[in-house]
Amino acid sequence: MTSVSGVDNILSQIRAMRQNTPGIGSVPAPGVGSVNPSQGGVQPAGFGDMLKQGIESVNNLQQTSASNTASYERGDSEMSLTQVMVSLQKSDVSFKAAVEVRNKMIDAYHEVMRMSV
């Protein structure tokens, strides 16, 4: 995979995620939000739900990475080194992104706490 096609792949994934995020794209993500019959539609998921979903996604990627690594170490013929390295990189990038989100949330909390009322 060349670096240009890798960047194109990441951009297409970001665009797909943006379309599936309530409030940003036109189509809500499957399983996100709750149906409220009185308002006749789907309500967007709360911040806590989105945060929980993001953490679960990072956890799933890390578990998949660990599983792929263990399979390769056992000599599984269906698991290639390339697959292991890609899953490790996905796991690493998602974890770093989660840490950055946490850092931004902490910074925002400190800013709010410094505000004078």
Q: What is the pLDDT of residue 42?
A: 66
pLDDT, one tens digit per residue, over 63-111 is: 999 999 999 999 998 999 999 999 999 999 999 999 999 999 999 999 9
0.75 exceeded by the pTM?
no
E strands in the chain: 34-36, 41-43
Q: What is the pLDDT of residue 39?
A: 56
Per-residue pLDDT band at 1 (split at 50, 70, 90): very low
pLDDT, one tens digit per residue, over 23-63 is: 544 444 444 455 555 555 666 778 888 889 999 999 999 99
Residue 46 Cα distances to 16, 32, 51, 53, 105, angstroms: 20, 9, 9, 11, 16
The amino acid occupying position 82 is: T
Among 100, 95, 94, 69, CA closest to 84: 69
Residue 45 Cα distances to 21, 30, 70, 94, angstroms: 10, 11, 36, 21
